[in-house]
Amino acid sequence: MIRRSVLLRRVALACAPLFATGADARGSAVLLSEFIDPAPPYPQAHASTIVALPGGTIAAAWFGGSGEGRPDVAIWFARRTATRWETPVAVARDARYPTWNPVLFQPPGGALHLFYKVGPDPRDWWGMEITSTDGGRHWSAPRRLPDGVLGPIKNKPVVLADGTWLSPSSREVGTPEHNRWFLRMERSADAGRTWTAGPEIASPVGLEAIQPSVLTLRDGTLELVARTRQGVVAVSRSRDAGRTWSPLAALAVPNPNAGTDAVTLADGRQLLVYNDAAHDPETPGNGPRWPLGVVISDDGVHWRRVLTLETRPLPDGYAYPAVIQTRDGGVHITYTWNRTRIRHVVLDPELLR
């Protein structure tokens, strides 16, 4: 972990910050807050993902178009230079159906992967993938994932100690009026050439969860945290490298039926970005997507709030965060801002205590 003064100096010299009035910049842990594309060529943007590329560059992707679920919605991608975000470009679309939920993944020494979904809705979509060997400047032809494999649903895969890729996945099955959510993990032992989908993770207490993130605890145990319909963040653990998982339980972290993301920091702490709001009792499992907050845990069980990123109510709030830590120690977060733009924030983790 680099010293905070070094990180501050790098951000100040290398970036052109646009500090946002809606962000809680009063907390000095916020080093940078900016829109990736201040004037996008479409009315709606959502479901961003962020990745660190070799050489220190970062990149992001999201879906954008006239509205979620409409056929013109494409996957957009942008790289950040030392001073600014490059002009985003559409890198994946389908002639008949909308695209959904991109996930960027950069395995060590390999190509950059962009997973995404195509289909009429989350109950009937399928997994797709494109790859790039030059950091996102050029992309391969789209490849459909095997039947029964959707790829990472919202949040990034992790690479285990033996080289296995573990992809956090989930399913929504049934009809729009009566559908069921559940988690399952997908894994590849051959760098993504083939995949296997694990069984449904048990939920005896009735938690319906989707969109998990994978963390690594200090003793090597894997932990997933996930969005639910029941007003809390769900948790499960694996002690056998993600082959089997404990039954879902509830963390004392609220969740208004909204996406979350989490990352294991270099110092062993766990960081979770989430909407700090309870669900609406009139519409169980739903609530406002503000504030947007950050909590930290030393053990994956007990979480403490350390920062609020956004507090001002907006019609569509602040949603679907994605989070990584780069090699210089900075914590990078992207999230949907009022369903119109994607915001990028950099935090100093040394001040998140």
Q: Are 320 and 154 in contact (CB under 8 A)?
A: yes
pLDDT, tens digit (0-9, with 9 covering 90-100), for 246-295: 999 999 999 999 999 999 999 999 999 999 997 676 665 588 999 999 99
Query: What is the model's pLDDT at position 351?
Result: 96
Look at 19-23, 83-87, 219-223, 264-268 and tell me which has the smallest mean pLDDT: 19-23
78 backbone dihedrals φ, ψ, rounded to 5°: -150, 145
Query: What is the model's pLDDT at position 281?
Result: 63
* DSSP per position, 69-95: T-TT-EEEEEEE-SSSBPPPEEEE--S
Mean residue pLDDT of the chain comes to 92
Query: What is the model's pLDDT at position 176?
Result: 86
Task: Say whether pLDDT at 320 is over 70.
Answer: yes
Decide: helix, strand or coil at residue 125.
Answer: coil
Mean pLDDT of the 239-251 span: 98
Q: Higher-confidence residue: 353 or 224?
A: 224
Bridge partners of 76, per DSSP, are 62, 90
Q: Are 209 and 226 in contact (CB under 8 A)?
A: yes
How many CB atoms lie under 10 A from the CB of residue 328? 14
| Residue located via tokens 């992790």 | 158
Q: Are 178 and 163 in contact (CB under 8 A)?
A: no
Task: Say whether pLDDT at 16 is over 60.
Answer: no
Mean pLDDT of the 345-352 span: 97
Q: Are 44 and 36 in contact (CB under 8 A)?
A: no
Domains observed in the chain: 4-351 (2.120.10.10)
- Is residue 27 very low, low, confident or very high in pLDDT (cuts 50, 70, 90)? low
- Whether residue 291 is preceded by a cis peptide bond, meaning omega within 30 degrees of 0, is yes
Rounded CA separation 105/103 (Å): 6
Task: Say whether pLDDT at 149 is over 80.
Answer: yes
* Distances 287 to 18, 94, 306, 348 between C-alpha atoms, Å: 29, 32, 22, 29
Task: Say whether pLDDT at 9 is over 60.
Answer: no
* DSSP per position, 22-44: TB-TTSTTEEEEEES-SS-SSSE
Query: What is the model's pLDDT at position 284?
Result: 55
Mean pLDDT of the 189-196 span: 98
Query: What is the model's pLDDT at position 107?
Result: 98
Q: Are 227 and 233 in contact (CB under 8 A)?
A: yes
Best CA proximity match to 75, nearest among 67, 63, 66: 63
Rounded CA separation 244/217 (Å): 16
Task: Say whether pLDDT at 318 is over 80.
Answer: yes
pLDDT, tens digit (0-9, with 9 covering 90-100), for 201-235: 999 999 999 999 999 999 999 999 999 999 999 99
Rounded CA separation 189/266 (Å): 25
In this structure, what DSSP letter does residue 13 have? H
Q: Kindly state the percentage of the chain with pLDDT values over 90.
A: 87
Rounded CA separation 67/43 (Å): 7
5 backbone dihedrals φ, ψ, rounded to 5°: -60, -35
Task: Say whether pLDDT at 347 is over 60.
Answer: yes
Rounded CA separation 163/325 (Å): 20
The rounded radius of gyration (Å) of the Cα atoms in the chain is 19
